[in-house]
Amino acid sequence: MNSINNTATTVQHQAENGKNEFIHRVKILNLPPHEINSTKRLLQNHGIFKFKKAPKWEYAFLNYETEEAARLAMSKLEGVEFKKKKLVTEYSKVSEKAFRSRFETKKKKAEDIVEIDTRTPTEKLADQVTPLYKVPYHDQVAKKHKLGARYLNTLRKKVHALPEINDAGKEQIAWTNTLEGMDCEILDTIQSPDINGYRTKCEFTIGKNLEGKETVGFLLGLYRDGITAVLSSDECLHVPEKAKEIAKTMENYIRGSDYDVYDRVEKVGVWRSIMTRTQRTGDIMILIQMNTKELSDEQVNAEKKKLVEYWNKSDINATTLMLQIWNGDSNGITDKGTTEILTGDGYVYEEILGCRFRISSSAFFQVNTPATELLYSKCAEWSNINESKKTTLLDLCCGTGTIGITMATKVDRVVGIEMIPEAIVDAKANALMNNITNVQYYASKVEEKIDIVANEKNEEVVAILDPPRNGVHTSVIRAVRESEQIQKVIFISCDAKQAMQNFIGLCRPTSNRFKGLPFKPSRAVSIDLFPHTDHCELMIEFVRINQGTTEIKV
């Protein structure tokens, strides 16, 4: 690791002589990677001559003997513009003993140093659930654009490095030879219309805060790390005000309850979780989870009545109230529990691009409605649907049918395939509700039903693939490859790193295992559905390559 680390040696020497109990550390954020010399010049211009920065780091460390010296350095650097970004500084104290131990053993990594965390609980939670909350939004957008471009280049490199490729195969992937040869347009990131309070679905933990008081909010860390304290979501930027109000209303109920909150360690107690859906239409779903292992049927029934009475009298005006009984060890809302509707019909409704959709408690539905409309609009635009031609839209992993239904009036027919039967039930209901009659849905694995287009008479077949976070099984990709009618695939990924093998499967040369001509990426765009977080949707258009040439079919 290339680093400038004279300060560490100085501090170590002083620590060994017993002068310091702590090392006062300043972390400088928003530095460009690999810019060691320019960073050095910047700091020298501000009277700082010793720092630590590895080439790939987007941050650097300064070490001082006193807090006053550290704070002075922070005052010099905070907000300074460098390479079109404003620097951000953070202060922490490092145990002298742990710091010295690192240099004595020369084996521990920098992350092993025990730091005394000086953040407030609110800051800790914000760093956990919205880690980019300190970063200006335009910088968040730029970071996600850069990350999308990096994933495309990674795809190019990985396809290019595939082993044992014959000459015909090399010709099929000639586009991977150079970055310029890739010829993939990367559009500017599409920003979220709403930056704060955008999450329509929130799942809160019920537990006790740092003072031991019953609280509805988020765990202040990972449970597997032994964290059980729960902090209120009042300061969380991505949680809407209505969801915060529901959480506080539930918190008041629990604090007056005869039953205790669930203890994740001892596995006793009643109140476990609450999930909210607060849609743009004004519909509100509340799902409360209880552990009833120690309660009689009479006690459970009495509590149901109390819950109904309480929420009916509240100012929330819930569209539907539900209760989930879950006595298992795993935490969080789960489809393994028994869910019962207490009031309403068990659904809320949302509107996207003029279409109305019903949402059940277990259904997947994008959590940022305005940004989702931008995503689906761009998806329709890329489909290049020519109304003069008969077109079939394959909505693969269709879920509740949102994408296909919003595009149904522009195509001859829609074929939706989804392996979760309950989602297909919702999709059919949504199509009926929107008077969509040119759609067919199949509760099946994609690879078992995709042959429905084998004898397709329509002139164009466009496949849209919007899979879960971890992508789809290789068999799905192989089935798409083998369906010659499919000349374009629009892949929507919420985690491009996990979906990378799917991308490679679409693009790798023809082989016994991957039959059919390969695809290549022709354009890509990131759509920010999750401001203040590292997550982003990446949409890539893949087009089929002609045999024996890198020319693509469109």
Q: Which residues are annotated as a binding site for S-adenosyl-L-methionine?
A: 366, 418, 466
Cα(401)–Cα(359) distance, integer angstroms:
11
Q: Is 494 known to be catalytic? A: yes
Estimate the crossing angle of helix 496-507 against helix 474-482, to 10 degrees. Answer: 30
Where would I find the beta strands (DSSP E) of 326-459? 338-343, 348-352, 355-359, 391-396, 413-418, 439-443
Q: How far apart are CA 349 and CA 503, in angstroms?
A: 34
520 forms beta bridges with 543
The token pair that represents 343 in the structure block: 């009031």
Q: Which amino acids are annotated as binding site, given as ranges?
A: 366, 418, 466
Provide the 3-class DSSP secondary structure of residue 153. Answer: helix
Cβ atoms 295, 270 nearer than 8 A: yes
| Catalytic residue of the set 202, 236, 355, 494 | 494
Hey, what are 548's tokens? Answer: 């024996």
Structure tokens given for 36: 């060691």
Contact present, 499 and 477 (Cβ < 8 Å): no
> Residues of 356-369 as b/e, b for ≥16 C-beta within 10 angstroms?
ebbbbbebbbbbbb
* Cα–Cα nearest to 62, from 116, 25, 101: 25
Residue 226 CB neighbours (<10 A): 8
Contact 316, 249 (CB under 8 A): yes
For residue 75, give the amino acid letter: S
Q: Active-site residues: which are they?
A: 494
